Amino acid sequence: MEFLQELNKPQLEAATHINGPMMVIAGAGSGKTRVLTYRIAHLIKNGVDPFNIISLTFTNKAAREMKTRISDIIGENEGRNIWMGTFHSIFSRILRIEAEKLNYPSNFTIYDTQDTKSLIKSIIKELGIDEKVYKVGMVYGRISGAKNNLISAVNYATNPEIQEEDKRTGKPEIGRIYKAYVQRCFRSGAMDFDDLLFNTNVLLRDFPEVLVKYQHKFKYILVDEYQDTNFSQYLIIKQLAAAHENICVVGDDAQSIYSFRGANIQNILNFQKDYPDFKIYKLEQNYRSSKTIVEAANNVIANNKEQIPKEVWTSNEEGEKIKLQRSLSDNDEGVFVANEIFNLKNNKQLSNDKFAILYRTNAQSRSFEEALRRLNLAYKIYGGQSFYQRKEIKNLLAYFRLAANNNDEEALKRVINYPARGIGKTSLDKLTIAANENSTSLWEVIKSPSKFGLKFNSGTLNKFESFYSMIRSFSVRLDSNDAYDLAKEMAKTTGILKELGGDKTPEGISRFENIQELLNGIKEFSDSDGDGDLKKLSDFLIDVALLTDADADDDSEPKVSLMTIHAAKGLEFPVVFLVGLEENLFPSQLSLNSRADLEEERRLFYVAITRAEKTLVLSYAQTRFRWGNLIQCEPSRFVDEIDAQFLEFPSKTTEPKRKAFSFDQERINFSSTGKSTSQNPNLKPVRKLKTSPPSNFESDDASLIATGMEVMHEKFGKGKVIATEGESPNKKATVFFPRVGHKQLLLRFAKVKILN
DNA sequence: TGCCCGGGTGTTTTT
DNA sequence: CACCCGGGCA
């Protein structure tokens, strides 16, 4: 097993651990994927059947990469038998096998975020609940959070604490919406993302024989990115592992960045409780980055209070300093980065794929796209609006979905009048009401409206009838037709091709091309793997909701990668531009009210820095367009947390040519003085220039603040203290602001003044 | 029923 | 600024 020789001591120990529970705490860049892959290879070489291994990853991309790497060692035939994928894809697979136990069809639809929100929205309307108070996103968040903690709709509505909480925040109807939502999904034969995990839990809980079956199958369990699992996922793992306890989890608490999605670091602590005789391995040597980058990252993360002690180090060379770049505006930032890539490419003979631009929010990509395009640099955006989420694509997919699962309400609503066939809102409302009253699906009502006491004029009835029979004609061919043949015909028969083909605007042409691209993709699917089986459209459709753009990589030419930091997790690049490092953007404005949120932002910053191998550029802009307004920005506090010895302040020449503002002059003078303090001197002039709002806002001493007081907050205005909690410096206050509602404030950070 | 216009509203992050 | 939604009109 010569492959094991490439490992260092702790890596080797972890990779050759065979039986019993184990946890690997792996610092950034310490080779955890390598350990996981080699461990799997080692298991197989030691007689473990690949069929008995399940390996859960965070993204499909990570899964595929690992699969390739394992196949390289043990051969593809063995490798393909390992169950490897995301929680969502693996458990949707199991749910399809076991669906009937839960009274679901095995071809259930997976609702993506759009479908879910659209359904919640209709429910809120139908129930006559105020949409202004019950914002769809917020309701979805509550329902999702409940599901991730395995709180069913019934539990939710009967749990006194939750009801109390919802009443206190003025939203007592969420339980009702949750109930209706679950019913509607069920009648539609649909599960949302959270259901895939929730229902797996139900399955394992209510059907002991199923649990035993999968416990027996998955004798060896591996979980990557364990710090980002939520309770629902945790419990699935725990149950599956209960029989053999051959469980291996790999994670890094410093890289936990998904708590907003219910991820819980607590799971790492639970691990020690659940498996007292577990073995722990710590990987602390970083192989990815230069000393400078590793130490800067250590600087940053040291500011977090809550973490498992570990010391990441590297024997790599010291490397370049981290460049700090200031631009006048968001557009200039784009130009700077594009120019810099252009130059580095030429000077160092690097291909495009060696570069990544990382940002906090998807909306920031625009200025970089424009600038890169102008220099003819090929780039690829990961995440954001994915191909499969585009309207035209979703519309065609909705026809496929509806053909495969006639009860899919969201699919039906999407296409029943697209292209326009004269079935409008009024008719649809009638149908919906009848479906609800009779606890059935829309489809059943359309099939025979009269059965449900509905009266329509004959023209409308004819329209229903022809829509119904068109869809049915597709449905009956699903099992006998080739995916591509059927898809192409559906695109034609439904009128989609004609509709889009007639639109000669640039957007229309692009939409048409997207449809063609989707059809091409299906063709590829049809032609793939010549094992003789018929490739069905329903098979193509199965996990389409779980696919993201990153899964459809085309490597025709090397491209610059643009993505959010969340999406960059697990990746590495020789050159990284970390952009938009401004207060209120990164850290996000919404994270400033609690220590936990701020620490998560800092971990995110840590993840971002540690993606870089050799060159790291930190960039911020002084002004930025937001909500259509030009706003002044100040540099992110995180930049200050890096010791100045690791930073380099670039010369003026890298800034795009344009009339300098007066403060630009100031910056040059300042840096030429060569003043060196322990902090970053170049940040200070900007700080002074902050124009909004003048910060003579003095906070009062936190210890004085008490329940009942009227206070003034710098951003939220006047408010009343409802409760306080803890002692300073960690004293928190719940304050009600008429303008923004209830807020939890950590008084150390919040700018609050006592009014009376 | 379908289209167009205007106002209101909103931004983390993802499977 | 962009998008979405609702209202009003053809």
Q: How confident is the model at residue A128 (pLDDT cuts 50, 70, 90)?
A: confident
**Through-space separation of residue A460 CA and nucleotide B1 C1' in angstroms:** 12
Mean pLDDT of chain A: 84
Q: How confident is the model at residue A517 (pLDDT cuts 50, 70, 90)?
A: confident
User: Of A33, A169, A361, A654, which one is the catalytic site residue?
Assistant: A33
Query: What is the structure's pLDDT at A688?
Result: 27
Amino acid identity at A511: R
DSSP letter (8 states) at residue A689: H
Query: What is the structure's pLDDT at A667?
Result: 33
Residue A726 pLDDT > 80: no
| Global pTM value | 0.83
Query: What is the structure's pLDDT at A666?
Result: 32
H or E element, residue A563? strand A560-564
**Average pLDDT for A320-343:** 94
Query: What is the structure's pLDDT at A384?
Result: 66
Q: CA quadruple A641, A643, A644, A646: dihedral positive or negative?
A: negative
Q: From CA A84, how far away is CA A62, in angstroms rounded? A: 10
- Enumerate residues 6+ apart whose C-beta is below 8 A from A5: none
**Through-space separation of residue A390 CA and nucleotide B3 C1' in angstroms:** 22
Residue A741 pLDDT > 50: no
pLDDT in tens, A547-606: 765 555 566 789 999 999 998 988 999 999 999 999 999 999 888 888 888 999 999 999
Residue A377, both tokens: 């640099």
A234 touches A152 (CB < 8 A): no
Residue A722, both tokens: 């409802």
Q: From CA A218, how far away is CA A200, in angstroms rounded? A: 15
pLDDT in tens, A492-512: 999 888 888 877 777 778 888
Q: Look up A611 and say whether it is catalytic.
A: yes
Which A residues between 124 and 143 have a beta carbon under 7 A from any strand C atom? 125, 131
Query: What is the structure's pLDDT at A698?
Result: 45
Query: What is the structure's pLDDT at A549?
Result: 58
Residue A749 pLDDT > 80: no
**Average pLDDT for A153-181:** 91
Q: From CA A232, how far away is CA A144, in angstroms rounded? A: 11
* End-to-end Cα spacing for chain A: 75
- CA dihedral A516→A519→A520→A524, nearest 10 degrees, is 180
Residue A745 pLDDT > 80: no
Q: Look up A165 and say whether it is catalytic.
A: no
DSSP letter (8 states) at residue A225: S
pLDDT in tens, A245-255: 999 999 999 99
Angle, nearest 10°, between helix axes A506-527 and A483-493?
Answer: 150
**Average pLDDT for A425-437:** 87
Q: Look up A161 and say whether it is catalytic.
A: no
Q: Phi/psi at A657 (nearest 5 deg)? A: -70, 130
Nearest nucleotide over every DNA/RNA strand to the A88 CA, judged by C1' = B15
Q: Look up A224 and say whether it is catalytic.
A: yes
